[in-house]
Amino acid sequence: MGRIGKHLKAEIDKYIEQVIETRLNYKQTALTFAPSGDDSPPIKDDRIILVSIDGNGKFAAVGVLTASQGAKPGEKILYSRNEDGEVQAILSLLNDGKVKLETPEEISVATEKDLKTESKANVEVSASQKMTLKAQQMELTGGTLKCKGTATPSGQGPFCAISVCPFSSCQSARTRCSQPQHHKPRRFCPRESSYTEHYWQ
């Protein structure tokens, strides 16, 4: 036999034990049973389904009545809520194979091992404000590197702030560079007294 009640509160220790009102002023306690690896305590006033445990008169909380977030057949949407029941972070696994993550707050990824991202197509990262990359050693590899924008003279850093070298009259500023080819000579800069490391297009 099953019952449906209103979640009042939860005691969270090793397990999630709920206090549920199944009829007016009648409260029951029940341990929460959920899919393996799912840690999601309900919030106040959630509707909980209870099932009877044979032989001991106790009940187990096995499900919560949830509001649809628009999932279509074959899709799965995971979401969190605040204490007022407002939806916050949303992870959508769509039936066309796409994965969508939405959140009003920051996203943090932490690992003690390597973090790898691989795409057989394009990768695009954009920020409305500042983007920062930090590492003890950073390496950029590939065929062509293209940069846009301007450099402000500071006396430090790898970017040239002048468009034409005053010594050689060669154009200094470029938006693109590629790996040097054996049949393309490297250019000598009198000011730096060294050869450039890249062939500038």
Q: How far out from the chain centre does Cα 48 lie?
A: 31
Q: Give the number of C-alpha atoms closer than 13 A to the C-alpha of residue 169, restricted to the C-beta side.
A: 0
**pLDDT over threshold 50, residue 199:** no
Task: Pick from 114-123, 168-177, 182-191 the range whose average pLDDT is largest.
Answer: 114-123
Residue 183: partners with Cβ closer than 8 Å, 6 or more residues away: none
**pLDDT over threshold 60, residue 193:** no
Structurally, what CATH architecture does the domain formed by 2-64 represent?
Beta Barrel (2.40)
The b/e string for 139-177 (b: 16+ C-beta within 10 A; e otherwise) is eeeeeeeeeeeeeeeeeeeeeeeeeebeeeeeebeeeeb
As given in the structure block, the two tokens for residue 19 are: 């206090």
Question: Among 90, 85, 89, 84, which residue's Cα sits nearest to residue 71?
Answer: 90
pTM equals 0.75
Range of weakest confidence among 44-48, 84-88, 173-177: 173-177
Question: Among 103, 92, 177, 168, which residue's Cα sits nearest to residue 140?
Answer: 177
Domain definitions of the chain by residue range: 2-64, 67-105, 141-201
